[in-house]
Homo-oligomer: A and B are copies of this chain.
């Protein structure tokens, strides 16, 4: 059975196609009697609007894209979950894409797919430069997550993020508050992403405020924010002579922290007795780890809400809107991995 179309419903109800269209879309100016009759016909025939035809005619699809580095990172999976929920509330469907941390792919997703299939895109950039993004954002609704590029002087698109400097500072201060003096920073990205730079900055700030000096050996370069990277880097830290070994590690992501925890476990170092560990992301995995890992928890629902609202505003607006930067709240959850004195 072919799907029913407006024409079928119209014939069934004995009205014109346009009237059915009006009823379906809830356009005012249809008498109650007609509306009733049409709705019955719609139910009877199981009519569902054809999105392609609608999109072709109106120019928008009700689809927004969410492009994240990878879905298997719990943080992004959670984010995707919230974005979907938020978008659904506004009548939009979300198409989730993975960039796999590839600049070309990031750009393609922002433009290619978007331009013709999607009404707008929420992108979590990792590699693509603002220069490449700028021309895109100026003619296509685009909201960027995290990565506040190029300081405060140049905003090339809407941004939603947490205050990474403050978050890193809080986390580090928390470790210092436990009496730890040799605090490592795990997450200095070889590619020097904005997120990484900002968190390092907050780390150093807190160190300074606590009267501690920054030891570059305790801030190893890592490849990416994965468990594996955390494992490798922490193995090296654990292998340092006893006096130089860190007594605390601030990890830029929970995945790094979980890799670090595993490396410490393998090295026979206790958490938190020998080394305190804290991460960022608030993943459920950290909560169930043994010991549970402290984490700085970005309010993902708020991030999703701000991003979707912002994007939808831009989609619905006729005029070009000025770019905005939204800060989402976060909180620090101190758990078993950061208790007691060293």
CB distance from A117 to the nearest CB of B (A): 5
> Chain B residue with minimal CB distance to A117?
B51
Q: Mark A45-62, 1 if CB is under 8 A from B, else 0.
A: 000111111011000010
In the complex, which of the residues B1, B55, B81, B113 contacts A98, with contact meaning CB atoms closer than 8 Å? B81
Beta-carbon contacts under 8 Å, A235-275 to B? 258-259, 261-262, 265
Within 8 Å by CB of A71, from B71, B93, B227, lies B71
Residue of B nearest to A139 (CB): B1
Residue ID in chain B nearest A66 by CB atoms: B96
Within residues 143 to 191 of chain A, which ones have a CB less than 8 A from any CB in chain B? none
Would A72 and B61 count as touching, CB distance under 8 A?
A: no
* Residues of B close to A84: CB separation below 8 A: 71, 98
Q: Which of A3, A74, A78, A288 has the most CB of B within 10 A?
A: A288
Q: Is A103 an interface residue (CB 8 A)?
A: no
User: Which of under 10, 10 to 19, 20 to 34, or 35 or more describes the interface residues of A?
Assistant: 35 or more
Other A-B contacts than A52-B116, A71-B84, A77-B77, 19 sampled, CB-CB below 8 A, are: A3-B115, A48-B112, A51-B116, A52-B52, A52-B53, A52-B55, A52-B56, A53-B56, A72-B74, A93-B95, A93-B113, A96-B96, A231-B288, A261-B288, A261-B290, A262-B289, A262-B292, A265-B290, A289-B289
Which residues 36-93 of A sit at the B interface, judged by CB distance below 8 A?
48-53, 55-56, 61, 70-72, 74, 77-78, 80-81, 84, 93
A residues bordering B, Cβ < 8 Å? 1, 3, 48-53, 55-56, 61, 70-72, 74, 77-78, 80-81, 84, 93, 95-96, 98, 112-113, 115-117, 139, 227, 231, 258-259, 261-262, 265, 284-285, 288-292
Residues of B within 8 A of A70 (CB): 81
Q: Which of B3, B115, B227 contacts A284 (CB 8 A)?
A: B227
Q: Contacting A74 at CB < 8 Å: which of B56, B74, B117, B265?
A: B74
Chain B contacts for A55, CB-based, 8 A: 52
Listed A/B pairs (20) with beta-carbon separation below 8 Å: A1-B139, A51-B116, A51-B117, A52-B55, A52-B116, A53-B56, A71-B78, A72-B74, A72-B77, A72-B78, A74-B77, A77-B77, A84-B98, A96-B96, A231-B288, A258-B285, A262-B288, A285-B285, A289-B289, A289-B290
Q: Which of A49, A139, A227, A290 has the most CB of B within 10 A?
A: A290
Across-interface contacts of A259 in B (CB, < 8 A): 288
Give the complex CA separation of A227 and B288 in angstroms: 8
Query: Once the chains bind, are A52 and B48 in contact (CB under 8 Å)?
Result: no
Q: Shortest Cβ distance from A287 into chain B, in angstroms?
A: 8
